[in-house]
Amino acid sequence: MSSTTTTREYFQNVWDSLATTFAGMRITGKYLMQKPITVQYPDERLPIPDRYRGIHYLEQEKCINCLACARACPIDCIEMDAIRHGKELEWVLFTLDYQKCMFCELCVYPCPKDCIHMGTEFAFVSFDRSEFNHDLLSYKGMSREARIRKREADIKKAEKEAAKAAAAAEKAAQEAADPETPEEPAS
Amino acid sequence: MSLLTLEAAAGGNAISELLGGIAPEGTPTWAIWLGAAGAAVGLLVAFVSLVAMFSVWLERKVSAHIQCRYGPMYVGGWHGWAQTLADGVKLLLKEDMIPLGADKPLFVLAPALVLGAIFGALVALPLAPGFFFADVNMGLFLILAFSSLTTIGVVMAGWASNSKWSLYGAMREAAQVVAYEVPLGVSLFVPLMVAGTFSLTEASAAQSGWFGMHWFIFQNPFMLPAFIIFFIAALAETKRAPFDLPEAESELVAGFMTEYSGIRWSFFFMEEYAAMFLMSAVGAVFFFGGYHSPLTAMFPDEATSGLLYQLVCAGTLIFKSFVGVFVMMWLRWTLPRLRIDQVMSMGYKYLTPLALACVLGAAIWETIFA
């Protein structure tokens, strides 16, 4: 700061302070008018990249209990067990301990059936540590997207079955209503 | 006219007339007076609380949107309008803490004094013709005196808290208000000269008609610089950024209110927003036509005593005041805080001489053209 201010500098200061204030207010006013860039998080979410490494989800019906993922895991956080009935598998457990898991994705690559995936779910809050030992066999362990896909598939399947049943019922009704149709002689 | 006469609430306002009308025959005058005073205090408290509530919500929204955020969105449904209400309930329920080393009577008295001063200042504010708590013919003096009284409360709070942060905040407040009272008062001489009155009701009434062309701001070329000086000084007077040195949260924790919590703290907060509203209202009355607007000018002369006209007038003044409050918030979220020496040099070296120059120019203009 100079100890003396000339008259010219004095009025320059007055002008500068007003002009810069108005310039600043124009900028903030522009931001005030624009749409906020944040989203209302729990209600709406920003898109998550496809290759995001979140909580796993398991396609249980494809899994053959080969333990490849459990062996690949560098910190041994996957445990699985199943009883074999011929070609059918009866699942006992498939747990993944998220207190240990470091989301390295090494369990995904060795899977011969391509049935374990990294999901996009990342918010994982619990009141109890034991809940972090996660049961992947339930829907709970699936990612949001996988759960949605699963639900959609279920709905589609149910619709298909309903349509089939409806068609069968219609056919039966037609057969019952049409007496000209020669009935199969019971032999 | 030249004497500061504070008319008692029973003197001639709507509340006491109403109470006198409905009170049974033979009710003593003092009972009506007390009832009117009680009703007026209740109305004032409700008004200040509502203004503070809305302003805090507005501040959150303005700050959020300037930073490209949403701000409160959930409480109450529509854009979190009840957020301040929820906060108020929380503050009411908080433990009332007084530090061990504090000067207890002063510590307790300070927030009450600060808020009471604002109530006192709002008494002289006419929201509509015939809708005021007291028609004070030196209303502007009253408002300026009461708004300076808040400084005493702030210094009191800073001293009584027995904390270095509080004391620094209080000292800054004192220095700042001493520096800015002068340009605030002097810049208001310009509209006073145009209006020829200290009374807010008379000043508002003088600006009616002509669809806003009778506003004082258009009456004199020195009104606009005077208004800018008044606005800056009002910012400093209400401790708003860029002059929020008494609070200075990045340096002094919370300045003079560091040691306060709960409802006592919220008194300071309410005072800040009520003072912003008051200063904006004074600016609206003495520069921008008071409760007159193109909307009120459309009423025919016969209708100017009706209730609808009064409501429109009150709405106009409240709207104008909140425009001022909004600009104050806009400035707060635009400018960084000044240094204390910058604040002082701005007050003493720039605003005061410029305000005096405005007064001189306005006086010459008024002598020649008016």
Q: What's the length of chain A?
A: 187
Q: How far apart are the first and last CA of chain B?
A: 22
Separation of alpha carbons B122 and B133, rounded Å? 8
CA distance B55 to B63: 12
Instruction: Name the 3-class secondary structure at B100.
Output: coil
CB contact under 8 A, A40 and B330: no
B208 vs B69, B214, B248, B293, CA distance in Å? 41, 6, 42, 8
Backbone angles phi, psi at B80, to 5 degrees: 60, 40
- Contact of A134 with A167, CB cutoff 8 Å: no
Please state the separation of Cα A98 from the chain's center in Å: 16
For residue A23, name the pLDDT band (cuts at 50, 70, 90).
very high
Q: Which uninterrupted H or E stretch holds A74? A: none
Segment holding B41, helix H or strand E: helix B29-66
Domains defined along chain A, listed by start: 56-145 (3.30.70.3270)
- E strand or H helix that includes residue B7: none
User: What is the distance between the alpha carbons of residues B320 and B125, in angstroms, rounded to a whole number?
Assistant: 13
Q: A131: pLDDT confidence band, cut at 50, 70 and 90?
A: confident
Query: What is the pLDDT, as a whole number, of residue B210?
Result: 64
Residue A74 contacts B, CB cutoff 8 Å: no
Are B335 and A21 within 8 A, CB to CB?
A: yes
Residues 6+ apart with CB under 8 A from B153: B110, B111, B112, B113, B114, B117, B271
Edge-first strand order for the sheet with A88-97 is A78-85, A88-97, A133-135
SS3 content of chain B, % helix, strand, coil (to 5): 70, 0, 30
Inter-chain contacts counted by CB atoms under 8 A, chains A and B: 40
Instruction: Provide the token pair at A24.
Output: 């600043």
Predicted pLDDT of residue B23:
66
- For A107, phi then psi, to 5°, come to -75, -20
Per-residue pLDDT, averaged over A74-87, amounts to 85
pLDDT at A146: 60
CA angle B262, B268, B272 (to 5 degrees): 140
Cα separation, B354 vs B232, in Å, equals 12
Q: Are B358 and B226 in contact (CB under 8 A)?
A: yes
pLDDT over 70, % of chain A: 86
Averaged pLDDT, A69-90: 85
**A30 has pLDDT over 80:** yes
Per-residue pLDDT of chain B (370 residues; tens, 9 = 90+): 223 333 443 344 556 666 666 666 666 777 777 777 787 778 888 888 888 889 999 999 999 999 988 888 888 878 888 888 888 888 888 888 888 888 888 888 888 898 888 888 888 888 777 666 777 778 888 888 888 888 888 888 888 888 888 888 888 888 888 888 889 989 988 888 888 888 887 777 777 766 667 777 777 788 888 899 999 999 988 888 888 888 877 888 888 888 888 888 888 888 889 889 999 998 888 888 777 777 776 776 666 667 777 788 888 888 889 999 999 999 999 988 888 888 888 888 888 999 999 899 988 988 887 6
Pick the closest to residue B196 from B129, B135, B137, B145 (CA basis).
Answer: B137
Domain boundaries, chain B: 97-369
Contact A21 B66 (CB under 8 A): no
- Neighbour count for residue B254 (Cβ, 10 Å): 17
In terms of CA atoms, which chain A residue is nearest residue B69?
A: A36
CA atoms within 13 A on the CB side of B313: 29
A133 token code pair: 């030992």
DSSP class of B350: I
Give the one of B69, B228, B334 whose C-beta lies nearest to A28's C-beta. Answer: B334
Residue A185 has pLDDT above 60, yes or no: no
Cβ separation of B66 and A28 shorter than 8 Å? yes
Q: From residue B281, give the alpha-carbon distance in Å to each of A53, A146, B122, B231, B346.
A: 57, 58, 10, 11, 24
CA B134, chain centre distance (Å)? 16
Distance CA A51, CA A49 (A): 6
CB contact under 8 A, A21 and B334: yes
Instruction: Name residue B24's amino acid.
Output: P
Q: How far is CA B223 from the centre of its chain?
A: 20
Nearest to B166 by CA among B156, B157, B158, B176: B158
Tell me, what's the pLDDT at A186? Answer: 53
In Å, the largest CA–CA distance within chain B is 64
Exposed e or buried b per residue across A72-84, where buried means at least 16 C-beta atoms within 10 angstroms of its C-beta: bbeeebbebebee
Best of A5, A28, A43 to disrupt the B interface (most B CBs within 10 Å) is A28
Assign residue B239 a region (left: φ > 0; alpha: ψ between -120 and 50; beta: otherwise): left
Strand A133-135 and strand A88-97: the pairing is: antiparallel
Is there a contact between A56 and A77 (Cβ–Cβ < 8 Å)? no
What is the phi-psi region of residue A111: left when phi exceeds 0, alpha when psi lies from -120 to 50, beta otherwise?
Answer: beta
pLDDT (tens digit, 9 = 90+) per residue, A137-166? 765 445 555 666 677 788 888 999 999 999
B128 - beta bridge partners?
Answer: B131
3-state helix, strand, coil in chain A (%, to 5): 40, 15, 45
The predicted pLDDT at position B4 comes to 30
Give the residue, B296 or A16, on which the prediction is more confident. A16
Q: Is A28 on the interface with B (CB under 8 A)?
A: yes
**How far is residue B295's CA from residue B313's CA, in Å, rounded to a whole number?**
9
Q: What is the distance in angstroms between the Cα of B70 and the nearest Cα belonging to chain A?
A: 6
Residue (of B56, B51, B45) closest to B274 by Cα position: B51
Q: Are B64 and B70 in contact (CB under 8 A)?
A: yes
- Which of B61, B66, B229 best probes binding to A when mutated, by most A CB atoms within 10 angstroms? B66
Q: What is the ipTM of this complex?
A: 0.73
The pLDDT of residue A160 = 92
B333 interface with A at CB cutoff 8 Å: yes
Tokens of B122: 């709002």
Report CB contact under 8 Å: B334, A27: yes
Distance in angstroms (rounded) separating the CA atoms of residues B6 and A71: 89
DSSP 8-state class, residue B300: -
pLDDT in tens, B185-224: 899 888 888 888 888 877 777 777 666 677 777 777 888 8
Averaged pLDDT score across all residues of chain A: 81
The full 3-state SS of B219-284, as one line of letters, equals CCCCHHHHHHHHHHHHHHHCCCCCCCCCCCHHHHCCHHHCCCCHHHHHHHHHHHHHHHHHHHHHHH
Q: Could you tell me if A19 lies within 8 Å of chain B, comparing CB atoms? A: no
